[in-house]
């Protein structure tokens, strides 16, 4: 979406440069190699709305990804402990 905004709407940069600029801005990295210069007050307000909204969405996406990564980690732990408990019960039955 950032590539479309910076490319077609503002007309200042190529599409992939716009995607790069919007991601770097939304992720609050801010190298400063691309800077959008708004032509009007409306463009300024829309960029000032787009960037915080994108930061909120990116933060939510990263948080959701980390939740599921943690979930998969604990599923793996549960499977490992289940395998060891079954192996332990088989070994106990073999000793009898």
pTM for the predicted model, two decimal places: 0.62
Domains of the chain: 2-95 (1.10.287.70)
Q: How far is Cα 59 from Cα 19, in angstroms, rounded to an integer?
A: 18
pLDDT at 91 over 70: no
Contact in structure between 10 and 2 (CB atoms under 8 Å):
no
User: Which residue, chain included where needed, has tokens 């969405």?
Assistant: 57
pLDDT in tens, 56-77: 988 999 998 888 888 777 776 6
Phi, psi for residue 60 in degrees, rounded to 5: -65, -40
């Amino acid at each position: 979406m950032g590539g479309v905004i910076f490319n077609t709407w503002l007309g200042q940069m190529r599409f992939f440069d716009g995607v790069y600029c919007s991601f770097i801005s939304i992720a609050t990295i801010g190298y400063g190699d691309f800077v959008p210069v708004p032509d009007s007050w409306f463009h300024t307000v829309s960029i000032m709305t787009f960037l915080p909204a994108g930061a909120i969405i990116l933060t939510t996406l990263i948080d959701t990804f980390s939740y599921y990564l943690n979930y998969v980690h604990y599923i793996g732990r549960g499977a490992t402990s289940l395998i060891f408990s079954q192996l332990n019960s088989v070994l106990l039955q073999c000793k009898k």
